[in-house]
Amino acid sequence: MSELLPILDSISPGTDFSQSQNFIDDGLLDSFDVVTLVAALEKKLNISIDGADVTPENFKNLETLEAFVRRYRENNGL
C-alpha cells in the first residue's frame, strides 16, 4: 500500500518509516502524531476509524498499518 508512505511523510517529513519495526518505540510517532495519522487516513482513504481501534498494535509498523487499513476498506466495501 504505497499510499501510506506519503501520508506518513506528511506527518513527519523526511522520516524513513519503511525501516522501522515499531514507529512508537523508535520515536517516529507520538500520541499526537497517531491522532493526526488517523484523521489523515480517514480523509484520504475515505474510511471511518473507530476510536477503540486506535491502539499501538495497529500503528506499529507499515505491515500492521497496511493490514489495519485493509480491514477497514474491506468492511466498507472499498
User: Over the stretch 18-39, which tens digit does the pLDDT of each residue have?
Assistant: 999 999 999 999 999 999 999 9
| Alpha-carbon torsion, ordered 12, 1, 23, 18, to 10 deg | -80
Task: Tell me the domains of the chain and their CATH numbers.
Answer: 4-75 (1.10.1200.10)
Distance CA 4, CA 25 (A): 19
| Alpha-carbon torsion, ordered 64, 30, 7, 10, to 10 deg | -160
User: Over the stretch 45-73, which tens digit does the pLDDT of each residue have?
Assistant: 999 999 999 999 999 999 999 999 999 88
pTM for this one?
0.89
